[in-house]
Chains A and B, each alone.
Chain A
Amino acid sequence: DSGVTQTPKHLITATGQRVTLRCSPRSGDLSVYWYQQSLDQGLQFLIQYYNGEERAKGNILERFSAQQFPDLHSELNLSSLELGDSALYFCASSTHPIPVNEQFFGPGTRLTVL
């Protein structure tokens, strides 16, 4: 158990819909990262938050957005869903300052868009 929790574990929805994925980092971790894992694209970095502020953006679509709340949990919002958004979405967290960037991953949310 990494100490990172993600809900829900599975999500099935239809095209055009909007969903919210939730992540609680390990106690004391200030950084949260979101990654998407799909068969064709592999594991891709989406976005990073540090202590409530956006720190870096990767290949995140404009239909996707995220935020980190004062209690440090984070939510990833996916809207106008398309079939190609079906994937595993992982959240990871890490401490700061970090001499070496060890990220702890949650179990993931499997999103299926029908």
Chain B
Amino acid sequence: GDSVTQMEGPVTLSEEAFLTINCTYTATGYPSLFWYVQYPGEGLQLLLKATKADDKGSNKGFEATYRKETTSFHLEKGSVQVSDSAVYFCALTPTQGGSEKLVFGKGTKLTVNP
């Protein structure tokens, strides 16, 4: 079945450091890909999305490119801030099955220190 694998956390960085969180997926066809973020005590928020190969999603300084050849959707940010501390989830929507459900990775906790 469809699945998402993302790098194990936690990840601890200093402010202004470069961030990469790896995400790879297994799916038939061309799923839509997402990054969601969960701040402490809150629900998930959509951070960015991409719907087809080579699409780049971007938001709030974060970017991810849909790579069909490597089945990857790695999240990057050039300079992290303390306010970026959260749990980040990579997810996909399968193209088959008749549902728009989200399949999530296990999440990566990011802590940014001042």
> Contacts A42-B107, A43-B104 given: A56-B98 contact, CB under 8 Å?
yes
- B31-59 contacts to A, CB under 8 A, are 32, 36, 42-46, 49, 51
Stretch from A11-19, A68-76, A77-85, A94-102 at the B interface: A94-102
Tally of chain A residues near chain B (CB < 8 A): 27
Please measure, in the bound complex, the distance between the C-alpha atom of A102 and the C-alpha atom of B104, giving whole angstroms. 14
B99 contacts A100, CB within 8 Å? no
B100 and A2 contacting across the interface, CB-CB below 8 Å: no
| Residue A106 CB within 8 A of the other chain | yes
Given the complex of chains A and B, what is the CA–CA distance between A7 and B91 in angstroms?
A: 26
Q: How many residues of B contact A (CB 8 A)?
A: 22
A52 interface hit (Cβ, 8 Å)? no
Which one of A31, A99, A105 contacts B43 once the chains associate, using CB atoms below 8 Å?
A105
What is the predominant secondary structure among interface residues of chain A facing chain B? strand
B43 A108 Cβ-Cβ under 8 A: yes
Q: How far is the CA of A90 from the CA of B42 in the complex (A)?
A: 10
Bitwise, A98-114 to B at CB < 8 A (1) or not (0) is 11111111111000000
Annotate B1-34 by CB proximity to A: 1 below 8 A, 0 otherwise.
Answer: 0000000000000000000000000000000100
Bound Cα distance A55, B98 (Å): 8
A103 & B102 in contact (Cβ 8 Å cutoff): yes
Which residues of B, 87-105, contact A by the 8 Å Cβ criterion? 89, 93, 97-105
B74 at interface, CB cutoff 8 A: no
Residues of A within 8 A of B (CB): 2, 4, 31, 33, 35, 42-45, 48, 55-56, 58, 90, 92, 94, 98-108
What are 24 A-B pairs at a CB distance below 8 A?
Answer: A2-B43, A33-B101, A42-B106, A42-B107, A43-B89, A43-B102, A43-B104, A43-B107, A44-B104, A45-B101, A48-B101, A55-B99, A56-B97, A90-B43, A90-B44, A94-B100, A98-B100, A99-B51, A100-B51, A101-B102, A103-B100, A105-B36, A105-B45, A107-B43
Q: List the 5 shortest-distance A-B pairs measured between CB atoms, nearest first.
A: A56-B99, A105-B43, A43-B104, A45-B101, A105-B44
